[in-house]
Structure 1
Amino acid sequence: MRRSRRTFPLTALALSLAAAPALAERNLMPSLERSSDVCPDRPEEPLWLQEIPLRQVYHRVLVQDIYRAQNLERVVETGSCDCATRFPSWDAAEAVFRERYASDERWEMLQASEGYNRRANAARPAAEAICEAAGNW
């Protein structure tokens, strides 16, 4: 008996600590509204990308990767991180996709995405420094 009395408080403590994160998670409500502290008036992603069939989601990923690489490189090239430079319309990324990749096979698009990710990652440190100085990171 003595032993069970001592383990009860420890068991209760362990259970309450285990339940705490679950209770905290219940209070977090995901928002479907898009909002950002940096450049809140960003252009919306084109509707055709938002509605793309699941089997073709790699098209959307490629356009997003092109957009990200173009924008980070533009920030570095111009030395400016105003909202129009960092988050322009999607037109240029869409044009590159349609001209170069729209008829490619899935594996070719995935390979192109890797290339755009490398470009974006190479430009990111310099772009981040420029944008942090402008308060836009």
Structure 2
Amino acid sequence: MRRARCLALAALALSLTPTLAVAERNLVPTLDRSFDVCPNRPAEPVWMQDISLRQAYQRVLVQDIYRAQNLERIVETGSCGCETRFPSWDAAEAVFREKYASNERWEMLEASDGYNRRANAARTAAKAICDAAGNW
């Protein structure tokens, strides 16, 4: 009886293997980004896309600045148009260059934490505004 169950389970596993292989093959990740909301978002600055892995914390800081600025702007203006939610990266990049570009890694990580807290504080209100506009 026990051997029959083992053989049945083995047969089931072998019969599913081709199906799993096909499913796995269809889940190939892509670097192409498409968005349902605000599909014409500006691309990150080229230097951020090409940054080395060792300096990725710089990219993360700019992304955190961008997110906090945008969520706060939505709350301040009460508007969630695509230009407000996803503006150019210029303002975030300028803050990074003026305040953080020459800082040490640990200082940038601390700054990222602060911008994440700011973004999270604005997120709930911004989400409500954007939900109403159909842009969340």
> Structure 2 length as normaliser, TM-score?
0.89
Deviation at 1:21, TM superposition (A): 4.7
Q: Does 1:61 align with 2:60?
A: yes
Mapping for residues 1-137 of structure 1, pairs under 5 Å: 3-14=2-13, 16=15, 21-137=20-136
- Residue 8 of structure 1, CA deviation: 1.9
**Number of matched pairs:** 136
**Same amino acid, percent of matched pairs:** 75
The answer to which of 23-32 and 115-124 deviates more is: 23-32
Relative distance call for 1:8 and 1:108 in structure 2 (3 A) is same
State the Cα distance separating 1:51 from its structure 2 match.
1.1
User: Which stretch shows the higher mean deviation, 64-73 or 47-56?
Assistant: 47-56
- Once the two structures are TM-superposed, the CA of residue 25 in structure 1 deviates from its matched residue by 2.1
- Cα drift, residue 29 of structure 1: 2.5
Cα deviations by residue, 1:16-36 (Å, 9 ceiling, x for unpaired): 567755542221222221211
SS in 2 for 1:45: coil
State the secondary structure of the residue aligned to 1:89.
coil
Q: Which runs of 5+ in 1 are unaligned?
A: none
1-structure distance, mates of 2:2, 2:95: 72
Change beyond 3 A, Cα 1:22–1:121: farther
